Amino acid sequence: MLRRGLVAALAMAVLLPGAARCADTEAYRKARQRMVRYQIQDRGVRDPGVLEAMRAVPRHEFVPERYRDQAYEDHPVPIGLGQTISQPYIVAFMTELLELEPGDTVFELGTGSGYQAAVASEVAGSVYTMEIYRELADAALARLKSLGFGNVHARHGDGYYGWKEKAPFDAIIVTAAADHIPPPLIEQLSPGGRLVIPLGSPFSIQQLVLVTKDREGKVSERAIIAVRFVPLLGH
């Protein structure tokens, strides 16, 4: 009986497409609690919705298996093709800057692993995210689907041009470093909307800039902190 059960379990592990995913164990949940407390709250992030999202989203599922033991550490992690999943604090900080409300529609340029989109989707209504590498876009889409993030819509394409059919967006998040704000993204931002983008030289330190569009459509920019992101590609 025991042996049959074991064989069945092994067969499941081989056959199930999600077999490579590891469960959200107590150890992972504890690691997230610590991550939120010491890396995020201690550095000043206060938005309860953002803190809850960072505690809820299983970051280890978005990290390649060989780096999984680093998933909750205080730094970015490689995700292939020279790209990275951002440091947890930066994800939380950028999400807080967006001041998301439950019904908001968000656009993300740079899906990468899909982690930032998943976090934003916990606080907003829906997230549209675009990735320039097809391989990353397909992997993120499959991952988000299998983890049940039904309000994230991911697509392969050059996010410089936004996602016109789904615009306008209440919030836009750019997760690759640009030397200017893509004009299509300003156009696709709702009046009253917020956009965050790392601006500056792609191979050095950038400024995280918060762009706001007021009810009359007037756009203002404010530099917030120094950051380091991978470069914006394409366009």
3-state secondary structure at position 133: coil
Check residue 233 for interaction with ligand SAH (CB under 6 A): yes
Q: Is the peptide bond before 168 cis (omega within 30 degrees of 0)?
A: yes
**Which residue bears the tokens 């920019």?**
221
Beta carbons within 10 angstroms of residue 38's beta carbon:
12
CB closer to ligand SAH, 3 vs 85: 85
Where does this chain touch ligand SAH (CB under 6 A) — which range of 24-32, 53-61, 110-118, 220-228?
Answer: 110-118
* Number of residues binding to ligand SAH, judged by CB under 6 A: 25
Residues in Cβ contact with 19 at an 8 Å cutoff, skipping those fewer than 6 apart? 12, 13
Among residue numbers 76 through 95, which ones bind ligand SAH (CB under 6 A)? 83-86
Beta carbons within 10 angstroms of residue 22's beta carbon:
13
User: Is 86 an active-site residue?
Assistant: yes
Check residue 193 for interaction with ligand SAH (CB under 6 A): no
Distance CA 8, CA 133 (A): 37
Check residue 133 for interaction with ligand SAH (CB under 6 A): yes
CB closer to ligand SAH, 10 vs 224: 224
Interface with ligand SAH (CB under 6 A), residue from 159, 162, 198, 200: 159
> Out of 86, 146, 190, 220, which one is annotated catalytic?
86
Interface with ligand SAH (CB under 6 A), residue from 176, 185, 189, 227: 176
Check residue 175 for interaction with ligand SAH (CB under 6 A): yes
CB closer to ligand SAH, 83 vs 206: 83
Interface with ligand SAH (CB under 6 A), residue from 45, 132, 197, 209: 132
The two most distant CA atoms of the chain are separated, in Å, by 71
Distance CA 104, CA 169 (A): 8
Check residue 149 for interaction with ligand SAH (CB under 6 A): no
Gyration radius from the chain CA atoms: 18
* Residue 199 structure tokens: 């601006």
**How far is the CA of 34 from the CAs of 55, 74, 98, 193, in angstroms?**
9, 11, 24, 32
Query: Applying CB under 6 A, which residues contact ligand SAH?
Result: 83-86, 109-110, 112-113, 115-116, 130-133, 136, 158-160, 175-176, 230, 232-235
Catalytic sites, residue numbers: 86
